[in-house]
Amino acid sequence: MTADTGSFPLPGKPGKGSFNRKRPEPRDVLPEAILARIRQYSGRVATEAVRSMEEQLPYFADLEASQRASIQLVVQTAVVNFAEWIENPSNVEYTVASFQTVPQDLARKVSLLQTVEMVRVAMEFFERWLPLLARNEDQLIALTEAVLRYGREIGFGAASIYASAAEARGAWDSRMEALVVDAVVRGDTGANLLSRAAALNWDPVASATVIVGNPPPDQNVSVAGSVHDTARSHGRSALAVVQGTKLVVIVSGAVTSGDPFADALMLHFADGPVVIGHTTPTLEDAHASAVEAIAGVNAVAGWPGAPRPVHSWELLPERALIGDTHAGRTLYELLVKPLEEAGSALSDTLDAYLDSGGAVESCARELFVHPNTVRYRLKKIAEITGRDPQDPRDAFVLRVAATIGRLAAANPDRFTPAAMTRITDISLS
């Protein structure tokens, strides 16, 4: 049983319907005289089209006079190019060329949506005016169809111009961002740093924290945009760039392990350690945070059980062991010096306790004191230093600090504040 298709022609089969009749191209129907009149009246048509925009688009009146004049020039160019486009509809240059006359300040002022609305108003005016030039029905049909097709091409042309501008702006922003982050890492915090960062929407009075880790293997280019989105969703600003084999991120404000923002940031790093530098008052001071974070990344292999993320100050002993003299000086100032000022009994108790493998009774016999005296002194050490000798990790930190203290006492010339505040290697390789 076959279906009754009536007189409607099936695809691929000849028929008498108008669907099988190939319409002539506009150039085959429209004489040169009509095209000449379109060119002749392009200025008047552009003026009337702009007047329609003023009546229909509320934001149009907010534009400066020079900007409205630029829009009129764009419209007039589009009208003139319409006549050229009819000659060769496949040439996209005629639709894109209209927008190449747009000044940069106007392109920044007018959004893509507003441009589309202006194109719509202008094309509606063209649809009313241009068909009036027709002298017969074939010319009327050809002009009407040409205006509709040209309007579609103009819309695509506007979108492509904005897309190209956005792509160029994105590439420029990426280069600018790389310059800012590199300046922070190298310590080149000159006058241009804050102005460049401000162009990337960084608050010049915001505090800054540097975070360093491994970049995701397949997102070296796009990871910066992902970091920006995460920071924005948490009300923060962020700068990010892949330098060498590391992803360097600078965020506004402090970052605390375990908070939602820190957890979200960790998703943008590959497996492996991530080190957070200390928070500095401004971006201009962030070089110190970068130095600490990078030094921590270079030293974190010495602590297999390091948390992720780990703060750079938690890696002071590992940093000191690989030659970071600033870390050694910090350990001396934070741990050794306070114990020395508290009296030799605490330092002697710490050394004896660590040498005895953490056995209170053995330590007491070594010092010829009661075990409770040892426990009391260990408690005082924890209160003064913030490190509990009975905790394995804290005991290691105190051991390294005590060693630095003894070396400082034996080599006073090499352990002066000036010598010990030198920052050594901050390589990202």
pLDDT digits (tens, 9 = 90+) for 141-184: 888 888 888 877 777 777 766 666 665 556 667 888 888 999 99
Give dist(CA 44, CA 260) in Å, integer. 60
CA torsion sign for 86, 92, 97, 103 is positive
Give dist(CA 381, CA 210) in Å, integer. 32
Please list the residue range(s) of the chain that carry CATH number 1.10.10.2840: 323-420
Q: Strand 238-243 vs strand 208-213: parallel, antiparallel, or unpaired?
A: unpaired
Those residues of the chain that have pLDDT short of 50 are 1-20, 422-426, 429
Task: Supply the pLDDT for residue 414.
Answer: 65
Q: Strand 275-276 vs strand 208-213: parallel, antiparallel, or unpaired?
A: antiparallel
CATH topology of domain 191-312: Alpha-Beta Plaits (3.30.70)
Helix axes 344-355, 371-385, angle to 10 degrees: 110
Helix axes 360-367, 371-385, angle to 10 degrees: 100
Task: Supply the pLDDT for residue 49.
Answer: 84
The CA-to-CA distance between both ends of the chain, in Å, stands at: 77
Task: Supply the pLDDT for residue 320.
Answer: 94
Give dist(CA 296, CA 308) in Å, integer. 12
**Contact by Cβ (8 Å): 273, 265:** no
**319's tokens:** 């940093």
CATH 1.10.490 fits 22-167, yes or no: yes
The continuous run of DSSP H or E covering 152 comes out as helix 137-186
Report the predicted TM-score, pTM, of the whole model to 2 decimal places. 0.63
Question: What is the phi/psi pair of residue 123, to 5°?
Answer: -70, -35
Give dist(CA 211, CA 42) in Å, integer. 58
R_g over Cα of the chain = 36
Helix axes 65-87, 42-56, angle to 10 degrees: 130
Class of domain 323-420: mainly alpha
CA torsion sign for 313, 317, 321, 325 is positive
* Per-residue DSSP letter, 160: H
What DSSP string describes 190-254?
Answer: -HHHHHHHHHTT--TT--EEEEEEPPPTT-TTTHHHHHHHHHHHTT--EEEEEETTEEEEEEES-
